[in-house]
Structure 1
Amino acid sequence: MCGRFSLTATPKELADVFGLLETEDFPARFNIAPTQPIIIVMSGERQRPGSNLPDRRALLVRWGLTPSWVKDPRDFPLLINARAETAAGKASFKAAMRHRRILIPASGFYEWHRPSKESGEASQAYWIRPRDGGIVAFAGLMETWSSADGSEVDTGAILTTHANSRIGDVHDRMPVVIKPEDFARWLDCRTQEPRDVADLLAPADDDYFEVIAVSDRVNKVANTGADLQTPVHVAARPAAKPKEPPANPQLSLF
């Protein structure tokens, strides 16, 4: 899954990577949490033939998708993630998969390794970022929810898939990453149906991300500084206890 992420790129960097028509100024954010505003990239109006102007635009939406048919969001679960394997068939996501696919820019994301109580291990937070730096584009979905009084709220969710072998040491899910050469195809909801872009919903290559242990301060939304991404030392995981050898049947009283 993806429960927190970061975006520290400048507006110019964002415009250059995604080919945006225009961008507003925004601050670096080191701890973006569910229900907060996030920047998304979507297809804009088609330019005239021969135009060199970009046709994508950035928009602020609430992180937590609310389908248009929901009557009261207070009675509906917060959908910050959508499983890529089933989104096209789920009532909450199928319309967005067909008509409102988006990109969600990030500098990286946080994940937690939460072992079983029986293992004796402590939970550990990790900062996961592209090994080569820069901006990563998560596959996302968008819906606009309208209230009874006519007000509208734009909302979004991140698509996740099964983890690659590197992330799998921490968690069994990870965000879907869309490569720059696939931006246009993913965002094209006019000619590309969900089945046409299903091949993009795969885990990133094993060496794409680096995984860095960080403090549990990222758990608190109030903590928003760059120090959240400072590496910490992680003690070696305890060795598994050896199994007791079976009793010698010749010495058994039974």
Structure 2
Amino acid sequence: MLAQAALEAEMTERIGAAKGERSEMRLGYRSGYYGRSLITRVGTLELRVPQDRDGRFSTELFQRYQRSEKALVGTLAEMYVQGVSTRKVKAVTEALCGHSFSASAISSINKSLDEALQAFAERRLSEPFPYLILDARYERVREAGVISSQAVLIVVAVDGEGRRQILGVDLANRESRTSWRDFLLALKERGLFGVEFVVSDDHEGLRQAIREVLPGAFWQRCYVHFLRNALDHLPPRLADDCLQELRWIYDRRE
């Protein structure tokens, strides 16, 4: 079994000698095994984890007290994000790996995901971001057992070296001046500064929010949104030709 072989190889590297090998480079001695069950995507593995006399050996195959493969835990978290019920998650994991996670175990995994998301959403912004890209999309969201369409507001920043990162994501009942203003104000409270240039679509409420919260920043209409909006006014048979013409004009706008 590959997992068992990996454990043995780790121990050999740790003490500098294989099992039963005589070596002047030996750094320690083996001291038996202890059993460990590890739940994976392909079933439950029963492993014999080697120990050393000093009790310092720690495998990289799994963390101390970890009982489930990280990839499996990630799958459970993804199902949670997609709105799959606890009952269905239990059924999927039982069919997938022969183990049914309890509701409390699934809730614990979901809690750690919520904590990681909260830490991301509340992290301090300690460097200037001269460029911002603002956009929104509508997604179906389950809230209190009711599914509705909500606006997902997204702010992507570009630093002085051209590196992009998502500064924040927020939910709103709809895209409006108020929702964007509150979102941008929250980013400023987290430390956002140094904004010189903002790119977005031509949504009037969004533009008003930018003027209010980031009054010193220049604004530019998003090229992709401009093309989409233009094509909305054309019959499908003319779309390809007009798109090429618009791109030609845009590339020579200077």
Q: Same fold (TM over 0.5)?
A: no
Question: Which structure exhibits the higher relative contact order, with contacts defined as CA atoms closer than 8 Å and separated by 6 or more residues?
Answer: 1
Q: Which TM class, normalised by the smaller chain length?
A: under 0.3
Q: Which has the higher helix share?
A: 2
Q: Which has the higher strand share?
A: 1
Using structure 2 for the length normalisation, give the TM-score: 0.21
Task: Indicate the structure (1 or 2) with the bigger Cα radius of gyration.
Answer: 2
Using structure 1 for the length normalisation, give the TM-score: 0.21
